Amino acid sequence: MTTDLAHRFGFLVNELGRLYSQQFDRRANEQLGLTQAQVRLLAVLAMHGDAPVSQAELAQKVGVTPMAVAALSDRMAAAGWIERRAHPDDRRVNHLHMLPKARKALQQALAIGDELTGTVLKDFSAAERKQLLALLGRARERLLGVVSEGVKA
């Protein structure tokens, strides 16, 4: 059993995610005034198009607590990135919607991510990049299967 963490899948994936997140967060904050968490929230909203999304749904999809989404939403609404709209039938529920400046910022954030990815993978051939993404995608799908199996059990 090796104790060299640099050769362990879980460590490598976690460390890569942590380092990438730090760099993305720094760049997005410097260039857009948005944190990585705020960009993730905008990305989830964008994936839903004009369909209403509640703060509770966002929390689950962004991977944070409902309280964290509420705090993020407060700051983002105050800064003019998003707006809250009351649910027509349940006044306890607010749906969040992106404002035009947020849509533009999300496109810029995606470009920041593309640039960072290009820097990280610059020594990889096109075939290696494609293979890396395919392998990571397969690992993700397998892990999602493990998660869903655990939910059923």
Report pLDDT digits (tens) over 109-127: 999 999 999 999 999 999 9
- pLDDT tens digits along 55-106: 788 888 888 898 999 899 999 999 999 998 877 888 777 788 899 999 999 9
Give the model's confidence band at 1: pLDDT under 50 very low, under 70 low, under 90 confident, else very high. low
Which bin fits 80, alpha (ψ -120 to 50), beta or left (φ > 0)?
A: left
| Average pLDDT of the residues in 52-57 | 78
Give me the residue label for tokens 């749904």: 57
| Coil/strand/helix, residue 34 | coil
Domain ranges of the chain: 11-122
Does CATH number 1.10.10.10 belong to domain 11-122? Answer: yes
pTM of the predicted protein model? 0.82
Give the model's confidence band at 22: pLDDT under 50 very low, under 70 low, under 90 confident, else very high. very high
CA separation for the pair 66, 112 (Å, rounded)? 27
